[in-house]
Amino acid sequence: MEGLKQRIETLYECGFVDDAGKADLYRIVEILQNHGIETNDDNTGVLVTHVAAALKRSADGEIVTPLDAEVLEQVKEIEKYEEAVTIQKEILDSMTNKLSADEQDFVLVHIGTILESV
């Protein structure tokens, strides 16, 4: 967690996320830990960084290119897909900042990747 905490603090200090964004990132880590997921791996760092970038894109009014439908179909085929959806919903519901539907799809893919690696 120490490396992840440092990553979140760095994203905050350089202005990539604001106070609410920083709190959202810490909530993501907490939710993953509550689901028994180790949060000191690279995949978790990628998720946190992606969400931080998504928050910045949203604040800047930037529109993200939707995820390829084929990628979403691949995620639906993983053994832990239902768990990934549950965690995604919990994360999105906990966030002060709201993500676009396209960004939400990316979050699901990252969670699926994390679950596949444990």
Q: Distance of CA 16 to CAs 67, 68, 83, 111, Å? A: 23, 26, 30, 22
Q: How confident is the model at residue 3 (pLDDT cuts 50, 70, 90)?
A: confident
Alpha helices in 1-118 (DSSP H): 2-13, 19-34, 42-59, 69-76, 81-94, 101-117
Average pLDDT for residues 68-85, to the nearest whole number? 95
Question: Is the per-residue pLDDT at 77 higher than 90?
Answer: yes
Question: Is the per-residue pLDDT at 71 higher than 70?
Answer: yes
Question: Is the per-residue pLDDT at 6 higher than 70?
Answer: yes
Using a pLDDT cut of 70, give the percent of the chain over it: 99
What six digits make up the tokens of 66? 């939707």
Question: Is the per-residue pLDDT at 20 higher than 90?
Answer: yes
Q: How confident is the model at residue 1 (pLDDT cuts 50, 70, 90)?
A: low
